[in-house]
Amino acid sequence: MKLSKAIIALSLLVLVWECGPGATSEPSLKPTAMEKPIAMVTPTEEPIVMATPTATERATLVVTPTEAPTPTPSPVEEERYAEARRQMVEYQIRARDITDEEVLRVMEKVPRHKFVLTQYLDQAYADHPLPIGYGQTISQPYIVALMTQLLNLKRGERVLEIGTGSGYQAAILAELTDEVYTVEIIKELEQQAEKRLKDLGYTNAKVKHADGYYGWEEYAPYDAIIVTCAPDHIPQPLINQLKDGGRLVIPVGPPGAYQTLWQLTRQGDKIVSQNILGVSFVPMTGEH
């Protein structure tokens, strides 16, 4: 009997030791890494502009990195995207220094979610750039609006874009003027952008696979040129293809570092330049 009581007492002691405050076998109340929700931090001072997709909606967004987004969202989704565009323009663009009403109008009109990869649809209207594959990005909405405003486009003017990417900037330009020419050095992106622009009805935007450093001489001269990748110097062929009075908006700087966004205006044989702000773009590539 004494031996049995001793065994019971020893068992209770072991149980207290294993389940006490410092025990390693105590079930954790903290979620594991897999259980923690993934939070997207949007670098903006304003409220998040889109509702987070439900689990069911998110499941439909997982595709290969280079696949285009689903072309026919439901009416409910389209209304959600339309509201996201309105908030994007109000909080990210108008609240800063974009005052051109035509630029604000087209930024609210063009469906940016049609130009991002499917897995980033929930971030399509967020205040930052997004990957589009092949080491390239779609620019932050504010930067798109700012560079477009700096072009001072008028209806009927001819504009050249260097760096088509997803085609989003070209679509913005095509809403503002009648002739848009855009050059992309990555063949796959050029093909995707050309189809996307055609599907969305932007028949006034012509896309070419080529090294953008050399512009697109066939349709020169241009009233405006916009460059959405950063060379380490201003390409002379682009200056040569500007009309007198033409504007060039371009980021310039070394790869892997911040660059400077410039607005240049051709006045006869002179170029008048204005330093706008510091930016960060993917570098211009090609043989030059």
34-92: pLDDT as tens digits: 333 323 333 333 332 333 333 333 333 333 344 444 456 788 899 999 999 999 999 99
Q: What is the pLDDT at residue 258? A: 87
Q: What is the pLDDT at residue 110? A: 98
**Residue of 4, 28, 139, 273 marked catalytic:** 139
**pLDDT confidence band for 185 (50 / 70 / 90):** very high
Q: Residue 139 catalytic?
A: yes
This prediction's pTM? 0.75
Summarize pLDDT for 81-121 with one digit per residue, the tens.
Answer: 999 999 999 999 999 999 999 999 999 999 999 999 999 99
Instruction: Inform me whether the pLDDT recorded for 234 exceeds 80.
Output: yes
Encoded tokens for 213: 């450093």
CATH architecture of 55-59+68-279: 3-Layer(aba) Sandwich (3.40)
C-alpha dist (Å) from residue 67 to 120, 131, 133, 206: 11, 12, 9, 22
Summarize pLDDT for 143-169 with one digit per residue, the tens.
Answer: 999 999 999 999 999 999 999 999 999
- What would the mean pLDDT of 163-188 be, rounded to a whole number? 98
Question: How many CB atoms within 10 Å of residue 8?
Answer: 10
User: Of the candidates 62, 65, 38, which has an alpha carbon nearest to the alpha carbon of residue 52?
Assistant: 38
